[in-house]
Amino acid sequence: MIIGNVFLVGPMGAGKSTVGRQLAKTLGRDFYDSDKEIEKRTGVSISWIFEMEGEAGFRAREQKVIAELTDLKNVVLATGGGAVLAEENRRILRSRGHVVYLSASVEQLMRRTSKDKSRPLLQTEDPKQQIVDLLAQRDQLYRDVADIELRTGEQSIQHVVSGLVKKLEILGQ
């Protein structure tokens, strides 16, 4: 039996929302996506917030939403790729649930994000280099905050989720 909250961290395109939705369904829990929650509350896209308020404005909103959502009970939360940049977010995630780092290869991340224009940090001349740079900056933060690391790849979502459930059950013992 899995007790407590489950928080998913990792780079954009690693599958946090997809895996999180399925995991929540499997566990009979509510699912939240911090980026979607910010959009819902503001009525505008993440790209618009980045454009109007800059990354710092977005990160302030993200921190507030993560603090609120992690305070709920028995939820699955998919965080944005940069949520781990703030020490306060890392502290909150660690103290309020089980943290799972979903990782993937640069090639898989590129394949999953290449056509998505709603990712402001990838609107550059060289999105692949941007992914490499973001991973270099964030990978250790993901690892430091996580209780479990799980690589997403060619396996099905069902396979990823069932493997994750087993790891969470072991963690909860």
CATH number at 139 reads: 3.40.50.300
Is 156 part of any domain?
Answer: yes
pLDDT tier, 13 (very low <50, low <70, confident <90, very high otherwise) = confident
Q: Residue 13 region, left (φ>0) first, then alpha (ψ -120 to 50), else beta?
A: left
Number of domains in the chain: 1
Is 148 part of any domain?
Answer: yes
CA-atom Rg of the chain in angstroms = 15
User: What value does the mean pLDDT take over residues 102-108?
Assistant: 87
Is 168 part of any domain?
Answer: no
User: What value does the mean pLDDT take over residues 36-57?
Assistant: 93
Residue 114's pLDDT is: 63
Please choose, from the candidates 4, 56, 66, the residue with its C-alpha nearest in 3D space to the C-alpha of residue 29: 4
Domain of residue 81, residue span:
5-161
Is 167 part of any domain?
Answer: no
CB neighbour class for 151 (10 Å; exposed up to 12, middle 13-18, buried from 19): middle
Q: What is the pTM of this model?
A: 0.92
Query: 21 pLDDT exceeds 90?
Result: yes
Tens-place pLDDT, residues 124-166: 667 778 888 889 999 999 999 999 999 887 788 899 999 999 9
Is 61 part of any domain?
Answer: yes
Residue 107's pLDDT is: 83
Is 112 part of any domain?
Answer: yes
